[in-house]
Structure 1
Amino acid sequence: MIRLSPLPGPCLLCGGGDGERKDGRWLCAICGWRYGDVPDDDLPRPRVDVVYYLRYERRVKIGTSANPRQRLARIRHDELLAFERGDRALEQQRHGEFAEWREAGEWFTFCAPLEAHTRGLRRAGAPWHQYARWVSETLQR
């Protein structure tokens, strides 16, 4: 069991407030970024493509973006169900898997198989926390 404690200050990558001590260093509990390290603002943020699942009423949009905050801000939705790390190829694969429930374009009826899929993705963590971790991992490479 990981023992979390408040970080000395917010994580500079994701803004998280809790962390764990590992080898004498603080790591953010959300994204894994080492506390005190400053992301280089002179470098572009790494590209992290995600497939997103947005629920609006009884429908779900399955789309993809390399900038999910900006993209999701432009789409009317009730709830972000999940993120999945992947690009257009994975998005097209998901469209094929749920084709039976396609309503129009990238919109699908929120059926039991789609609900089960998004619930499974959420077991790995809250969507924005997963995204922060993926960005952190990419920056650390």
Structure 2
Amino acid sequence: MTRGTMPGPCNLCGADSGEQADGAWFCLVCGWRYGDAPDPELPLPRIDVVYYLRFDRRVKIGTSAHPRRRLAAIRHEELLAFERGDRRLEQQRHREFAGCREGGEWFTLTPELAAHIDRLRTEGEPWTLYARWFSAELRG
């Protein structure tokens, strides 16, 4: 296997680094085969995520099936992490961190919440994880 720059960007996530195996390139970010395109006649997969957004020393824990659109609508300074999950996981996190809730979906960035986010970040950068989950569902 050879690693390097693919002949062009990945059609799924836009990354340019890849790995060549058996004469084909595969994106290192999402695993999509270079040159392949999702079938336009099939519906795109739904990927629900729980997101963690920072604004000052506060963190919003929310969920969305369309995170790019949702995050564009929320004032924040930094996307801290994603974890794959829907409203049930979001509600579980709200209960887990209820002691530092400021109101609604906003929480004080306590050491406990920061440690949880740090554990999530060891799995990868949020948008890279999202691309991998999306690619896996398309391939599935």
Alignment match, 1:55: 54
Alignment match, 1:106: 105
How do 1:86-105 and structure 2 match up within 5 A?
86-105=85-104
Normalized against structure 2, the TM-score is what? 0.96
How do 1:1-141 and structure 2 match up within 5 A?
4-141=3-140
Q: Check whether the contact 2:50–2:84 (CA below 8 A) recurs between aligned residues.
A: yes
- Percent of aligned pairs sharing the same letter: 64
Letter in 1 for 2:126: P
Equivalents in 2 of 1:7, 1:83: separation in Å? Answer: 27
Letter in 2 for 1:55: R
Deviation at 1:119, TM superposition (A): 1.1
Residue correspondences, number? 140
Deviation at 1:21, TM superposition (A): 1.6
Deviation at 1:22, TM superposition (A): 2.6
Equivalents in 2 of 1:38, 1:139: separation in Å? Answer: 10
RMSD between superposed Cα atoms in Å: 1.2
Equivalents in 2 of 1:3, 1:106: separation in Å? Answer: 45
Deviation at 1:3, TM superposition (A): 5.7
Deviation at 1:89, TM superposition (A): 0.6
Structure 1's consecutive aligned runs of 4 or more residues displaced over 6 angstroms after TM superposition are: none
Letter in 1 for 2:81: A
Equivalents in 1 of 2:24, 2:90: separation in Å? Answer: 38
Unaligned runs of 5+ in 1: none
